[in-house]
Amino acid sequence: MNRAAAPRHRSLHPVAWWLWASGLAICAMRTNNPFLLALIGAVACFVVSVCRSSAPWSRSIAFFLRIGVIVIVIRVVIEILFGQRGVPGHVLFTLPHVPLPSWAEAVSIGGGVTSESILNAFVAGLQIAVILLCFGAANSLASPYRLLRSLPAVLYETGVAVTVALAFTPELVLSIGVVRQARRQRGIPIRGVRGLRGVAVPVLESALDRSLQLATSMDARGYGRRISVGPGSRRLASGATTAGLLLVAVGLYGVIDSGSLFGLGLPIMAVAAVLCGTGLALGGRRSARSRYRPDPWRRPEWVVAGSGVAALAALSVAHGLNVAGLTVSFSPLAFPNIPLLPIVGILVAVVPALVAPRPMSPAAGQGVGDPAAVEPGTPVDGGRPASSEPDLSGARA
C-alpha cells in the first residue's frame, strides 16, 4: 500500500469547479424557461454523480436539493394563500376570504387561485432551486480544504483560523461524548440544565486550553513573519482599495437608481471590483509566505472552467439575438418555446464528467470535517479527547 509510489490521482482545482458552477448558476439566473432550468439542474446533478469523491462534503448536494424543494414549496404555498387576486386566468379552486386586522389589510387571504399564478410561482421557485443546486454541486465537488488553500494571500489569517476550525470540529464533537461519559462517572446527571452546564464548561475550557497550545506552536513555527514592503507598495495597495470602495459607492447608486448615471451602474461596479481586487492582491505581498505544492492549473481545469463559461456565453448570445423562449410567462397559459442554442450551450457543461480527473480515494479526508460521521457517544479509548489510540481513529474512518 505504498501511496507514494502509485501514480497520484489528483483532484481538480476547486476554483475550476466553482467557476463551472458559477457559469451554470448565472445561466439559471438569466432564464426562467422551466425546461432550460431543468436541464441545468440535470447537468449539475449528473456531473456531481460522476465526479464526486467519497469525501463527506460530497454529500452536501442533497442538502441543497432539500433547500431547493423547500423554496419551491414555500413559494407556491405563499402564492396560494396570499396571491394577488383579480388577475384573469383559469381558476383552479377558491379559498374562503379571511378577514385581517386593519394594519395588515394590504394582505388578502383567500380568493380564487388560478393555475397560471401557481405555475408562475412554481417556475420562479424552480429558478432559485436550480441556482442553489449549482452552488450545491460546487460544494460537493470542491474540497473545502483545497478551497481554503486557494484563498488570496491577503486573507491568510482568516484562512488559517478556518482551517483550524475545520480540523478541530470533529475532535470537539468527540470530546462532548467523552465529557458526558465522565459526567456520568461523577454521578452527575447529564441531562437538564446542570447537565448542559457540566458538559459545556469542561469542553469549552479544554478547547480554550488547546487554542493556547496551538498558538505557542504557531508562534514557534514562524506564523506571522512578514517582509517589510516599501511604503510605496503599501500606499498603492491602500489607494487601490480606497478608490475601489469609492467607485462601489457610485456604482451602487447607479444600480439602485437605474435611471441615473446613464445606466452605467454595472460597468462602474465592475471597475470598482477590479480595483478592490488589485488592492487586495497588492496587500497580499506583505506576507513572506510561500506555498507548498499549490494545486496545479492544467488543461482539465481550463476545460472545466471553460465549459461553464461556454454555457453562459451561449445563453448570452441567445439573449443578444433575442431568441424566443428565454423569458417565458404563463399568463396567459401557453407552452414555452424551447430554444436550441441555449440547450446546446448548457449541454457543453457536461464535459467535466468526461475530462475531470477521478478524485483520489479520500485517505486525506478520513473522517475529517465530518462531525456527522462521528458518533457522539463513541467511548473514546483513553478518555482524552485528543486520543492517540488507533482504535478510535479506526472507528472514525
Partner 1 sequence: MTVSVPQPATRQYRRLTPAVRLGTRSSFLLLLTTLFGIAAFAWPLLIHQSSGPNSAHNGDAPWIFVGLVPLLLAIVMAELSEGAIDAKAVALLGILAACFAALRVPSPGINGFEPEWFLLILAARVFGRGFGFVLGATAFFASALITGGVGPWLPFQMLAAAWVGFGAGCLPPMRGFPERLMLAGYGVVSALVYGLLTNFWFWPFVGGSTTTYSFVPGLGTIENLHRFILFDLTTSMGFDLTRAVTCAVLVLVLGRPVLAALRRASRRAVFEPTIEFVDQAGDETVLSGQARENAGAGRQRNEPSHPAAGPRSSPREP
Partner 2 sequence: MIRFDEVSFTYTDAARPTLHRVTLEIPEGELCVVVGETGTGKSTLLRAINGLVPHFSGGVLAGTVTVDGRTTKDNRPRDLADVVGFVGQNPLASFVTETVEDELAYTMENLGVPADAMRRRVEDAVDLLGLQDLRDRSLRALSGGQQQRVAIGAVLTASPRLLVLDEPTSALDPAAAEEVLGTLARLVHDLGLTVVMAEHRLERVVPFADRIVLVPGAGAPLVDGSPEVIMRTSSVAPPLVELGRLVAWDPLPLSVRDARRVATPLRERLAPMTPPVRRAVSTVTTVVARTRKLSVSYGRVVALDGVDLSFRPGEVLVLMGRNGSGKSTLLTMLSGARRPTRGTVRVDERDPRSFRPAELIRRVGLVPQDPGLLLYGESVEAECRTSDKVSALEGGSTARTLERILPGLPGDRHPRDLSEGQRLALALAIVLAPAPALLLLDEPTRGLDYPSKDRLVEVLRELAEDGHAVVLATHDVELAARVGDRAVVLADGQIIADGPARQVVCHSLVFAPQVAKVLAPEEWLTIDEVRHALNGAVPV
The partner in contact with residue 276, picked from partner 2, partner 1, none with C-beta cut-offs of 5 to 8 angstroms by kind, is partner 1
Are 113 and 91 in contact by the 8 Å Cβ rule? The answer is yes
- Nearest approach, Cβ of residue 3 and partner 1 (Å): 25
One residue of 92, 100, 167, 338 binding partner 2 per CB under 8 A: 167
Q: Which of residues 152-191 bind partner 1 (CB under 8 A)?
A: 152, 154-158, 160-166, 168-169, 172-173, 176
166 is written with which cell numbers? 475545520
Count CB neighbours of 47 within 10 A. 26
CB of 192 vs partner 1, minimal distance in Å: 10
Residue 359: CB minimum distance to partner 2, A: 13
d(CA 111, CA 273): 47
102 binds, among partner 1, partner 2, none (CB under 5 to 8 A by kind): none
Residue 264 identity (one-letter amino acid): L
Q: Is 44 helix (H, G, I), strand (E, B) or coil?
A: helix
Binding residues among 184-213 for partner 2 as defined by CB under 8 A = 184-190, 197-198, 201-202, 205-206, 209-210, 213
Binding residues among 375-394 for partner 2 as defined by CB under 8 A: 377-394
- Asked if 5 is part of the footprint of partner 1 (rule: CB under 8 A), the reply reads no
Q: For residue 287, what are the β-bridge partners?
A: 226
Q: Which amino acid is at 59?
A: R
| Residue with Cβ nearer partner 1 (38 or 62) | 62
Q: Which is nearer to partner 1, 4 or 193 (CB)?
A: 193
* Interface with partner 2, residue 395, by CB under 8 A: yes
- CA–CA separation, 342 and 352 (whole Å): 18
Position 260, amino acid: S
Q: Between residue 319 and residue 378, which ones bind partner 1 under the rule CB under 8 A?
A: 369, 371-372
Residues 346-375 close enough to bind partner 2 by CB under 8 A = 363-368
Q: Is 263 an interacting residue with respect to partner 1 (CB under 8 A)?
A: yes
The residue count for binding partner 1 (CB under 8 A) is 103
Torsion of CA 214, 4, 51, 14, to 10 degrees: 40
Q: Is 265 in the site for partner 1 (CB under 8 A)?
A: yes
- For residues 303 and 294, what is the distance between their CA atoms, to the nearest angstrom? 19
Residue 283 binds partner 1 (CB under 8 A)? yes
Q: Which of 390, 379, 307 is nearest to 349 (CA)?
A: 307
CA distances from 300 to 14, 43, 141, 297, 352 (A): 12, 18, 14, 8, 8
Q: What angle do CA 177, 183, 186 make, to 5 degrees?
A: 150
6 binds, among partner 1, partner 2, none (CB under 5 to 8 A by kind): none
Interface pattern 230-269 for partner 2 (x via CB under 8 A): ----------------------------------------
Residue 261 binding partner per list partner 1, partner 2, none, with a CB distance cut-off of 5 to 8 Å that depends on partner kind: none
What's the number of CA atoms in the CB half-sphere (13 Å) around residue 33? 23
| Residues in binding contact with partner 2, number by CB under 8 A | 79
Sequence-ordered list of residues with C-beta below 8 angstroms from that of 93, at least 6 positions apart, any chain = 112, 113
Task: Say if CB 350 and CB 304 are below 8 A apart.
Answer: no
Asked if residue 355 lies in contact with residue 304, where contact means CB atoms within 8 angstroms, the answer is yes
2 binds, among partner 1, partner 2, none (CB under 5 to 8 A by kind): partner 2
Closest separation between CB of residue 196 and partner 2, Å? 11
Q: Which residues pair with 98 in a beta bridge?
A: 109
Question: Binding residue for partner 1 (CB under 8 A) from 23, 41, 89, 144?
Answer: 144
Q: Does 223 bind partner 2 (CB under 8 A)?
A: yes
